[in-house]
Amino acid sequence: MNTICPPGCIPSKSSKSSKSSKCPKDKIVNPKTGRCVSINGTIGKSLVQTKKVKLNNSNNQSKTTKSLEKDKKVLNVTDPLDKIYRNVSDMGRVSELNPNKHLIELSSKIGEFIDVYSVSNNTKPLAALDFSAYGRKKFKKLNVSLINKVIEYCNFKGIQMIHNTKIGGSYLKSICFLPHNYKNALKLMALLWYPNLIYKSMTDIQFEIGIGLLLGYTIDNIIYFIYTKYKTVITKKDVLFMKKIIHKVNISLEELQGTYKIVHYTNIKSI
């Protein structure tokens, strides 16, 4: 996998001021000190890479994006799924609606990569899975050939991933997203592993509501899920409360470095 920065690094925040324009071409301003540092140094490289991530999220004309677009034209990767599966998206398995038979069929073949595929087609905002060594081992029990084709297609579509390198614990260690959903991917990682960064007095039910919202589930589905799991009746007001909390929070990759090491990948490694 190609990383935005070396595994385990903590990208520094890029400067929003115009000071960067005052630095020579081979230097970049360090926002912490206000001084120009070499782009070839450790700090400089981190600042340059962080700047590229932000540009990729807000400006599709960045050099990184242009390079990706060029690669896409060369590769010309086609959709690996049969047509009956292409519009299938998991928007909540625990639902009052009857389960989609195509969703069940596809899930038995590629597991959570059905969500990653949906994210790459922008029909789902985020996908959460376990892409650790243990998680990849479990995926090898499924249709590996098809999974790798899906991964190639998702990479072609510009999929990215942030991953918690922790061994053990919760199985949701990897969040897949398209660049425009990078901020929400950071929020979901924080919710899963640093919940106090989202809301300090969060209850278990609010935790579940937050996950549902960030994964793109409907309010009705979240309400039904909470009742099914906790036998507790919540209202639309409860869901909107958490939606407001999540919307207000700003999480950076730096803030996720501490107890755990979170790494940002620009594509997904094949199984």
- Cα-flanking dihedrals φ and ψ of residue 203, to 5°? -90, 170
* Six-digit token string for 205: 């039910």
51 has pLDDT over 90: no
* Burial tier of 233 (Cβ tally within 10 Å: 0-12, 13-18, 19+): exposed
Q: Same structural domain for residues 102 and 41?
A: no
Q: Same structural domain for residues 81 and 49?
A: no
Q: Which pTM was predicted?
A: 0.71
Instruction: Band the pLDDT of 232: cuts 50, 70, 90.
Output: very high
Domain membership of residue 72 (yes or no) is no
Dihedral sign computed on CA atoms, order 31, 36, 42, 46: positive
Domain membership of residue 220 (yes or no) is yes
Least confident segment among 29-38, 70-79, 81-90, 207-216: 70-79
> Around 104, how many Cα atoms within 13 Å sit in the side-chain half-sphere?
6
- Residue 231: predicted pLDDT: 96
Mean pLDDT of 214-240: 95
Domain membership of residue 271 (yes or no) is no
Report the alpha-carbon distance of residue 196 to residue 51 in Å, rounded: 27
Q: Same structural domain for residues 103 and 224?
A: yes
State the average pLDDT for the chain.
84
Q: Same structural domain for residues 207 and 130?
A: yes
The pLDDT tens digits of the residues spanning 141-152 come to: 999 999 999 999
Number of domains making up the chain:
2
73 has pLDDT over 90: no
Q: Same structural domain for residues 92 and 192?
A: yes
18 has pLDDT over 50: no
3-state SS string over the chain?
CCECCCCCCCCCCCCCCHHHHHCCCCEEEECCCCEEEECCCHHHHHHHHHHHHHHHHHCCCCHHHHHHHHHHHHHCCCCCCCHHHCCCCCCCCCCCCCCCHHHHHHHHHHCCHHHHHHHHCCCCCCEEECCCHHHHHHHCCCCHHHHHHHHHHHHHCCCEEEEECCCCCCCCCEEEECHHHHHHHHHHHHHHHCHHHCCCCCCHHHHHHHHHHHCCCCHHHHHHHHHHHHCCCCCHHHHHHHHHHHHHCCCCCHHHCCCCCEEEECCCCCC
* Burial tier of 245 (Cβ tally within 10 Å: 0-12, 13-18, 19+): middle
Mean pLDDT of 58-85: 65
Q: Same structural domain for residues 15 and 120?
A: no
Q: Same structural domain for residues 28 and 126?
A: no
Domain membership of residue 70 (yes or no) is no
12 has pLDDT over 70: no
Mean pLDDT of 206-222: 96
Collect all residues with Cβ–Cβ distance below 8 Å to 74 and sequence separation of at least 6.
Answer: none
Instruction: Band the pLDDT of 67: cuts 50, 70, 90.
Output: low
Structural domain including 2 reads 1-60
Instruction: Band the pLDDT of 140: cuts 50, 70, 90.
Output: very high
Q: Same structural domain for residues 226 and 126?
A: yes
Contact predicate 8/269, CB 8 Å: no
Least confident segment among 53-62, 121-130, 213-222: 53-62
Dihedral sign computed on CA atoms, order 75, 178, 85, 133: positive
**What percent of the chain lies above the pLDDT cut of 90?**
62
- Residue 24: predicted pLDDT: 81
Residue 43: Cβ within 10 Å count: 15
Domain membership of residue 232 (yes or no) is yes
Q: Which of 161, 85, 76, 80 is nearest to 116 (CA)?
A: 161
Q: Same structural domain for residues 138 and 44?
A: no
Report the alpha-carbon distance of residue 126 to residue 178 in Å, rounded: 8
